[in-house]
Structure 1
Amino acid sequence: MTMADKIVVMHNGAIEQIGAPLEVYDRPANPFVAQFIGSPAMNIFRGRMDSQGRSVVETAEGISLPVANAPAGLRGRQVVYGIRPEHISLDPKGLGAEIVVVEPTGPETQVTLRMSVTCH
C-alpha cells in the first residue's frame, strides 16, 4: 500500500473502493473498507446522532462519542461511527474497560480493550 499511487479494495469479488492509499485510509467508503485497511483495524460503533443539536453519537451500549464537524442533516438519524486507534486518547474521567491483549510491536505497544457496556 505504501508504494502504490492507487489501490482497489475488493470484498467477495466486488469493488468496495478505489483511491489513493491515504484517501482510502482517511475516508473509507464503508465499514468493511474501514476495518480492512489499517492495523490495528478501525473501531466501528453503530448508534444514533443526538437529536438535541449536540455533536455526539449515542450507542446502544450507552456510550456517548463526540463527533467533529457533524452535518446537521444527521441529527436523530442512525449512523455508523468509525475511529482509528491512533485517534483515541485517555480521558481524565476514565472509562471502564478490561485489558484483553498487550502486544509490543517495536516502538509502540498495542493494547486491546473490551469496554464495559455500562460506561457513559
Structure 2
Amino acid sequence: MESEFIAQTALDQMVGTDQGQLLKALIPYLPPREQQLFSLYAKAKEFSNAVNLFGSQAQPMRMQAVSASQPVDILNDLRKYCFGNTRRTLDQITNMMAMVEMIKVMNSTVPEDSCEEERQ
C-alpha cells in the first residue's frame, strides 16, 4: 500500500476527514452550481467538526512533538503550508533572523578592548 503525505495543518488534521478531502478534490470537476454547493457543504462539515472539537476539549491545541518556543522553528513549520510570495517572505524573515543571530555571536566574541587597540 502506497503511503503519501499530504501537508495539512494540525487543525485540518483534527477537523478534516479523508472523505472531506476527496470531496474537495472532486469539486473542480463538477458543474459550477454543484461546485458551490459541495464547497459550502465541505466547509460547513469542517466547521461543525471544529465546533465539536473545541466544545469537547478544555485544553487549547498545542504542538506536542515540537517545542515551538523559537520563532525560527515556528516559521519553518508554517513554511510547509504556503507557497509563492508568502513562502519567499517567510524565507526572508528566517534569513534575517539568522543574520541577527550571527551578528550577536560575532559581537559577543569580539573583546571590548579591540577598538581601543585599533585607535592607537
- Which bracket does the TM-score occupy, shorter chain normalised? under 0.3
TM value normalised by structure 2: 0.19
Higher-strand-fraction structure:
1
Higher-helix-fraction structure:
2
TM value normalised by structure 1: 0.19
Query: Whose RCO is larger (CA < 8 A, sep 6+)?
Result: 2
